[in-house]
Chain A
Amino acid sequence: MNAVRLLSRKPWIWSFAATVLVWIVTVLFTGGASSVGLSQAALTFAAFSVIVGLGQMFVITLGPGNIDLSVPATMTLAGTIALKLMDVQNGMILPGLLVAVFLGVVVGIGNYGLIKILRIPPIIATLSMSFIVQSTAIWANRGLRIKPPELLASFTTSGFLGIPNVAIVAFLLSVAAWLLLEKTIYGRWISAIGQSTFAARMTGIPVDGTRFVTYVLCAVLAAICGYLLASFSGGAALNMGSEYLLMSIAVVVIGGTAVAGGDSNVPGIWGASLFMFLVVSMLNTYGFGAGVRLILTGLIIIAVILVAGGRKMIR
């Protein structure tokens, strides 16, 4: 009884409950035949949402107004440039990854530079930055679709003991993020900044340094995600990041992270990512058209936040 109450206090439990429900409904429709395939697909696609979602979560934790809209452009740029550099050679896999990370660092520095130097809200700074990054990606891509190196392609599309490799990568990154948030000084600092930036400043927290690192971290995670996604889908496409803008925000919030800042939640991102993928595939399974699918997706997001938000008020 006590365990149930303790568990129901965790904000992330709701996204997992919804995920299990949708999974069951979908599997029932196909008569159980698809359960393994569906689970693997869900883990694979959720992994990408989780990686960008983690970065977005760090940024959102910094408090109201903090958001990174350059995530899709960063993914595209990192995927494009990394694949171009690797040029189908297996030996270039690691340099490719390093270049992707480096691009993430550059975009992160640019983002926070704009926020700080121009003193503009992050939403506008990262939006302006994303325009420039996207243009660079278009320029670099030139309509050519370069395949990923053989080894990298097979790594991202295969699994270990039935669990997709990308999901394992996302899990390891999640564990690192959880440790960072819950156990380190840095985690305390971003939570404090998210609750009250001025109070954080007056307790001696290096506010600018912390926020800077957070924006860089978010861009780096987006770049890693772009690198993996481009390799997974057999090449970089210019619109490959577009759906991850809304997705990265949605998984963070549905996962129970406070939009007002200061309170973040790593497990919830997994629940929300799996849930978002399963909802779409469930509606596909039932043969709905694009319009109905969109409407139902939207209504489900609102329903989830209504249930989760209502619970928050009792606390």
Chain B
Amino acid sequence: MMRISSDTIRLAIPALSLAVLLAAVFYMQPRAMSYTGLNLLFNLAVPIALATIAQMLIMAVNDLDLSMGTFVSFSACVAATFLQSSPALGILILAGAIAAYAAIGVVIYVRELPSIVVTLGMSFVWGGLAVLLLPSPGGEAPGWARWLMTSKPPFVPMAIVVSVVLAIATHFLVMRSSFGVLIRGVGGNARSVERAGWSVVAVRAGTFALAGFFAVLSGIALVGLTTSADANIALRYTLLSIAGVILGGGEFVGGRISPVGAVIGALTLTLAGSFLSFMRISPDWQIGAQGAILIVVLALRLALNRLEKREKNR
């Protein structure tokens, strides 16, 4: 008898949500079913997917990062200023920011602090630094970032290519490698990981640094798309990234996450945004419709979950 693992089911649900939403878009706007249409729909997917992966890593070790949005904004500001004018200094600053992330991960664990509050505080810090860098919108994207994000590979738009590569790479990193096992192990039962002789502090530092790395990439990708930056450019990424992880089948505690699901969740959220502008919904109700879509997708996920459970019990 073939048994479907719970991981596969975790993945099937977000994938189906995305397919349904995509089908709805195509049904309403058949012209979207083209290279240009897809490009338009998923335009902003890459930075959101990267931020979602970063958030997912933090959630894998039972924490939550409320500074994700301001940190991506800060990275975007660095990318649009230092990284463009003096790359070496820019890289140094971003490396320092990643080190700061690792340090936060250690401090939260060693002092047993609530991650929500520490990252809440950090969101002010990153926001302040971003304002110092770019008090008003401006800066310029580094040429290579611009080239990478706007290049048009044959057949499939860049955003989708990058998303697929990202999903596969992070799947191997988090779900298949030994380090990934340790990350999820710390989320599942940190004490037993410690008893087995591992340093939980080191694992958490590594996890946070990795999250910081993906968040930095998100900022660079965002600037590559928008060509300039401002201090508030990615504030909504905090909530988007959390919603993406949840849509993708991840959970808040217990190290139950899915990188492929997270990328799909980010794509779903991007699509929801594009879908609304396609539908020409009155600006008054645009935010509300976004909320409604989030609810519909989650309801769909619940329905599928129920169905799956019934299958299992039969």
Question: What is the interface of chain A, defined by CB distance below 8 A to chain B?
Answer: 64-65, 67, 69, 114, 118-121, 123-124, 127-132, 134-136, 138-139, 246, 249-250, 253-254, 259-260, 289-302, 305-306, 309-310, 312-313
Cβ–Cβ contact A127 & B243, under 8 A: yes
Q: Is B253 in contact with A129, judged by CB distance below 8 angstroms?
A: no
Which one of B131, B135, B253, B289 lies within 8 Å of A65 (CB-CB)? B253
B253 partner, pick from A64, A118, A294, A298, beta carbons under 8 A: A64
Which residue of chain A is the closest to B231 with respect to CB atoms? A291
10 contacts between A and B (CB under 8 A): A120-B302, A127-B239, A129-B291, A131-B287, A131-B288, A294-B128, A298-B123, A300-B121, A301-B120, A305-B113
With a cutoff of 8 Å between Cβ atoms, the chain A residues found around residue B114 in the complex are 253, 259-260, 305, 309
Q: Establish whether residues B295 and A114, one from each chain, have CB atoms under 8 Å apart when the complex forms.
A: yes
Which residues of chain B from 97 to 125 have any CB-CB distance to chain A below 8 Å in the complex? 107, 111-114, 116-118, 120-125
Question: Are A291 and B132 touching (Cβ within 8 A)?
Answer: yes
Kindly list chain A residues whose C-beta atoms are within 8 Å of the C-beta of B120. Answer: 246, 249-250, 253, 301
Residues of chain A contacted by B155 (CB below 8 angstroms)? none
Contacts of A114 in B (CB 8 A): 295
Contact A298 B111 (CB under 8 A): no
Tell whether B311 is near chain A: CB-to-CB under 8 Å: no
Q: Is B56 an interface residue (CB 8 A)?
A: no
Residue with the greatest number of chain B CB neighbours at <10 A, chosen from A293, A302, A312: A302
Interface residues, chain B, with chain A CB atoms under 8 Å away: 66, 107, 111-114, 116-118, 120-132, 135, 239, 242-243, 246, 252-253, 284-292, 294-295, 298-299, 302
Contact residue among B128, B242, B292 (Cβ-Cβ distance under 8 Å from A295):
B128
Q: Which residues from chain A contact B118 at a C-beta distance below 8 Å?
A: 302, 305
Quick check: A123 and B242 within 8 Å, CB to CB? yes
Whether B116 contacts A291 by the Cβ 8 Å rule is no
Contact call B123/A253, Cβ cutoff below 8 A = no
Residues of the A chain whose Cβ atoms lie less than 8 Å from the Cβ of B123: 246, 298
Q: How far, in whole Å, are A234 and B131 apart by their CA atoms in the complex?
A: 30
- The contact of B294 among A119, A127, A291, by CB within 8 Å, is A127
By the criterion CB–CB under 8 Å, are A309 and B113 in contact? yes
Bound CA–CA A114/B299 (angstroms): 9
A186 to chain B, nearest CB (A): 25
Give the most central of A67, A114, A124, A134: most B CB within 10 Å: A124
Q: B121 and A305: CB pair below 8 A?
A: yes
Whether the pair A301, B124 counts as a contact (CB closer than 8 A) is yes
A295 to B132, CA, bound (A): 10
| Contact A313 B287, beta carbon cutoff 8 Å | no
| B132 touching A302, Cβ below 8 Å | no
A246-B120, A299-B121, A301-B124 as given contacts; A120 in contact with B246, CB under 8 Å: yes
Note all chain B residues with C-beta closer than 8 A to A124: 242-243, 246, 294, 298
Contacts of B112 in A (CB 8 A): 309, 312-313
- On whether the beta carbons of A135 and B128 are closer than 8 Å, the reply is no
Complex alpha-carbon distance, A162 and B120, angstroms: 34
Chain A hits for B239, CB < 8 A:
69, 127
CB distance from A278 to the nearest CB of B (A): 16
Please, which residue of chain B has its CB at the minimum distance from the CB of A135?
B288
Q: Contact at B117–A119, with CB atoms within 8 Å? A: no
Pair A298/B290 contact, Cβ less than 8 Å:
no
Question: A298 to B131, alpha carbons, bound, how many Å?
Answer: 14
- Chain A nearest CB from B221 CB (Å) reads 24
Q: Would you call A294 and B295 a contact (CB within 8 A)?
A: no
Minimum distance in angstroms from A156 CB to a CB of chain B: 28
**Do residues B113 and A306 form an inter-chain contact, with CB atoms below 8 A?**
yes
Docked complex Cα distance between A64 and B290 (Å): 26
A155 to chain B, nearest CB (A): 32
Determine the residue in chain A with the shortest Cβ distance to B251.
A121
Which residue in B131, B132, B287, B298 is a CB contact (below 8 Å) of A120? B298
Contact B291 A121 (CB under 8 A): no
Query: Which of A130, A259, A289, A296 interacts with B117 by CB under 8 Å?
Result: A259
Closest 9 CB pairs of A and B: A131-B291, A135-B288, A298-B124, A294-B128, A295-B128, A301-B121, A259-B114, A298-B125, A291-B132
Question: Which of B126, B284, B288 is most buried by chain A, counting CB atoms within 10 A of its CB?
Answer: B288
- A248–B242 Cα distance when bound, in Å, is 19
CB distance from B103 to the nearest CB of A (A): 11
With CB as the reference atom, state the residue of chain B lying closest to A121: B252
